[in-house]
Amino acid sequence: MGYRSNVALGIAFVNRAAAREFVLKMQACQPEDVRQALTEYSVVLGASEQEPVMFLAHFECVKWYPSYPDVIAHDGLRSLAEEAGATTRFVRVGEDIGDDEDDTNYSVDNDNMGLQEALQEAIHIRRTVECDIPPGSGIPIGLI
């Protein structure tokens, strides 16, 4: 089966016009693998045309190796977004404790602290264990 990871990717633009311009540019002139990578994102719109737009993607239990074509395509898409002035975030959680990557990149040309914060809120690492014990059903071990 091999080593698997959970991955989340985010691309944030200052407004809808910037996001639209990027999408049109990607659809017009990028290789098929980059265009395909873009279709794997969900779009989160701000309430108005002037508010930020986020593209978010989430992959569970995937092999995320730098040499894999899908990974190369997503890395290329993020680089192109950064060149276009977007803020990006990449988070990967591996199977081993402590095997986490968290990388945020942003353009210094934009006042983008709000974009960084939005991506921080949308993508975060949480490791949990759940155990469903019905309320009131547990008794102390000594009473068995």
pLDDT score, position 38: 94
Mean pLDDT split into 10-residue runs, the chain, 144 residues:
86 95 90 92 92 94 93 95 94 86 77 80 81 70 70
What domains, with CATH codes, occur in the chain?
A: 5-125 (3.30.70)
CA-to-CA dists, residue 110 to 2, 30, 84, 135, angstroms: 41, 24, 11, 51
pLDDT score, position 16: 95
pLDDT score, position 44: 94
CA dist., res. 88 & res. 107, Å (int): 9
Query: What is the pTM assigned to this prediction?
Result: 0.83
pLDDT score, position 143: 72
CA dist., res. 39 & res. 42, Å (int): 8
Q: For residue 102, what are the β-bridge partners? A: 91
CA dist., res. 67 & res. 122, Å (int): 27
CA-to-CA dists, residue 71 to 17, 55, 116, 126, 133, angstroms: 27, 17, 22, 23, 40
